[in-house]
Copies of this chain bind each other. A is one copy, B any other.
Amino acid sequence: MDEVSGFCIKQRSGYGGGNNGGSLGTGTKCGRWNPTTEQVKVLTDLFRSGLRTPSTDQIQRISSQLSFYGKIESKNVFYWFQNHKARERQKRRRFLVDEPNEFHHQDKLPSTKYLAELNQVSEPEIVLETLQLFPLNSFTEPMESEKRRLFSNDYCRENSYNIGTQMHHPTLDLRLSFL
């Protein structure tokens, strides 16, 4: 891939450089941004205060403020929030591993129409035999017209989509083929 980005691609200069260390000012080397502890502190505090996706304007102001502590650009602030947000989330998710509630199921009242219908059909027998044996290849009838809108699109975006897992369930291939 082209390493072009408009920056100075800095190939690793051996090692002993140690150019930065807090004052990286005097931008002679164009490596990646190396935030000072003060800058990190402020950014972290902003994040803790609730800021997660600063607007362009905010970014620029933050950048301006932080430039007092050392070299910095707006994009650095932008990236910092992106990365920090993502990694905090990631960290959180690690703890909640396998927590079935990936999203919170907050029951809301359904539309009456569906509820009525569901009520009478409710949960049918389990019927897995057939289903699981041959997953979803069975072509059902063409969708009802009312749902046409949902399916008018192509569903074969990519290819198979094995949900394969430990269970030897059939290639529950995917996509609505069984709908």
Contact = CB atoms under 8 A, between A and B. Distances in A.
Contacts of A161: 45, 50-51
A153 to B, nearest CB: 5
B124 A64 contact: yes
A99 B50 contact: no
Interface string A58-71: 11111111011101
B132 A50 contact: no
A74 B150 contact: no
Contacts of A135: 65
Contacts of A108: 56, 79, 82-83, 86
A124 B39 CA distance: 17
A50 B121 CA distance: 25
B123 A64 contact: yes
Interface residues of A, number: 118
A165 interface: yes
Interface in A108-124: 108-111, 114-115, 117-124
Contacts of A147: 54-55, 58
A8 B122 CA distance: 13
Interface of A: 5-8, 15-21, 23-24, 32-38, 40-42, 45-46, 48-65, 67-69, 71-75, 78-80, 82-84, 86-87, 95, 98-103, 105-111, 114-115, 117-128, 130-132, 134-137, 140, 143-144, 146-147, 150-151, 153, 155-157, 160-161, 163-165, 167, 169, 172, 174-176, 178-179
Given A59-B114, A79-B110, 9 more contacts: A19-B126, A38-B146, A42-B172, A45-B174, A45-B175, A54-B163, A65-B131, A65-B136, A69-B167
